[in-house]
Amino acid sequence: MPRPSLKRRSPFLSLMLAAAVAACGGSDSDPIDPGNGGGGGGGGGGTGGATVITLTGNRTFSPNNVTISAGTTIRWTNGSTAFHTVTPQGHTEFNRWTTDTSGQSMEHTFDNAGTFDYFCEPHQGVGMIGTIIVQ
């Protein structure tokens, strides 16, 4: 069976590129209010009330800085097939998590106020770091 030409694949590749760009859109430093649906909070977006942070194929957490209220659940979801970690930096609020499968997720409910930094071990050097601020 002949292989499809690059020309025939280009609409699919264009769609995939557009989806990747859209997933990274907006400012990663904007705080998310889980009550306004901005991060899938408040029961919106089928996330079960969790604020979602995506580990992207572009080696970023999206969004990378999140401000939440105590009692809010964060769900980290791997949006790529790359190996990533969510590794706490300087705290024990949650345990290190590893993933290499698209769609895998890990949740943690933040009950204590504070600032909780984390990073992806293989991609920290290219800026894959994040912060959860709990008020």
* Domains of the chain with CATH codes: 28-134 (2.60.40.420)
3-state secondary structure 21-80: HHHCCCCCCCCCCHHHCCCCECCHHHCCECEEEEECCCCCEECCEEEECCCEEEEEEECC
Q: Determine the pLDDT at residue 11.
A: 43
- pLDDT computed for residue 49 by the predictor: 84
One DSSP character per residue, 86-112 reads EEEES--SS--EEE-STT-EEEEEE-S
Reported as type and span, the H/E element at residue 7 is helix 6-23
- Does residue 4 surpass a pLDDT of 50? no
Residue 48: the pLDDT is 66
State the pTM of this model. Answer: 0.66
The whole-number pLDDT of residue 107 equals: 97
pLDDT digits (tens, 9 = 90+) for 34-72: 332 233 333 333 456 899 999 999 999 999 999 999 999
- pLDDT tens readout for residues 82-130: 999 999 999 999 999 999 999 999 999 999 999 999 999 999 999 999 9
What are the φ and ψ backbone dihedral angles of 92, each rounded to 5 degrees?
Answer: -125, 25
